[in-house]
């Protein structure tokens, strides 16, 4: 595969990752978001080909067997997510630098694959307690789901040191500014 640069974001759920990514995409027109494949069902207004490529479990498995993924992980029990090689080719053929929003294991696998052509960023919540407050104030999840996410967050934070940069999101405006500075120097080095 003939490839360009990639920027990989990973963070515990509730750390503010999506807001940061959307802001970065507006600032840098040469960046494009990698649409992952998943076998979970679409949520709300999500559309096939925009948020995700929604596949059945069977289709997902067949594509794994055919070697069509650069990486894939069973992020939640029975629910896999992965990056299709065809998605990277699609974005690179438009001369884009690719932005990924993927789980910690997938992120570190891509970092291994792309080396210095990859910038792996870990968005860190100020603390697990603050993450809990943020998830509860969203009001969208049950207490049980929140506890599960906090448990997963602790596991994910344990891998933070393996990323190129850890960015603590204690103030969104500031975090976006720092993230954009890091991306700018990565793109121009």
Q: Which residues bind ligand 5GP (CB under 6 A)?
A: 36, 40, 71, 73, 75, 81-83, 101-103, 106
Give the residue among 12, 10, 14 at the shortest CA–CA distance from 140.
14
- Smallest distance from ligand 5GP to CB 16, Å: 13
Q: Which is nearer to ligand 5GP, 71 or 125 (CB)?
A: 71
Task: Name which of 81 and 186 has its Cβ closer to ligand 5GP.
Answer: 81
Question: Other C-beta atoms within 10 Å of 50: how many?
Answer: 11
The CB-of-178 to ligand 5GP minimum distance in angstroms stands at: 21
Compare residues 55 and 73 and give the one whose CB is closer to ligand 5GP: 73
Give least dist CB 188 to ligand 5GP, A: 27
The encoded tokens of residue 120 equal 């792996």
Residues 6+ apart with CB under 8 A from 80: 38, 39, 57, 60, 64, 72, 73, 74
Cβ neighbours, 10 Å, residue 109: 18
Residue nearest to ligand 5GP (CB): 106
Provide DSSP, 36-69: EEESSPP-TT--BTTTEEE--HHHHHHHHHTT-E
Give the shortest CB-50-to-ligand 5GP separation in angstroms: 12
Comparison of 18 and 185: residue with beta carbon closer to ligand 5GP: 18
């Amino acid at each position: 595969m003939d490839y360009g640069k990639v920027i990989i974001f990973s963070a515990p759920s509730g750390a503010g990752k999506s807001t940061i990514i959307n802001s970065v995409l507006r600032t840098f027109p040469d960046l494009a978001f990698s649409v992952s494949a998943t076998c979970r069902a679409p949520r709300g207004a999500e559309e096939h080909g925009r948020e995700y490529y929604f596949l059945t479990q069977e289709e997902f498995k067949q594509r794994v067997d055919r070697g069509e993924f650069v990486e894939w992980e069973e992020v939640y029990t029975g629910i896999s997510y992965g990056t299709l090689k065809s998605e990277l080719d699609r974005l690179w053929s438009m001369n884009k630098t690719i932005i990924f929003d993927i789980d910690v294991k997938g992120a570190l696998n891509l970092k291994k694959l792309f080396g210095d052509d990859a910038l792996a960023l870990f968005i860190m919540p100020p603390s697990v307690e603050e993450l809990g407050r943020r998830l509860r104030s969203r009001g969208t999840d049950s207490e049980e789901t929140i506890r599960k996410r906090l448990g997963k967050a602790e596991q994910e934070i344990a891998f933070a040191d393996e990323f190129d940069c850890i960015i603590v999101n204690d103030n969104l405006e500031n975090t976006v500014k720092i993230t954009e500075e890091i991306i700018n120097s990565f793109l121009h080095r």
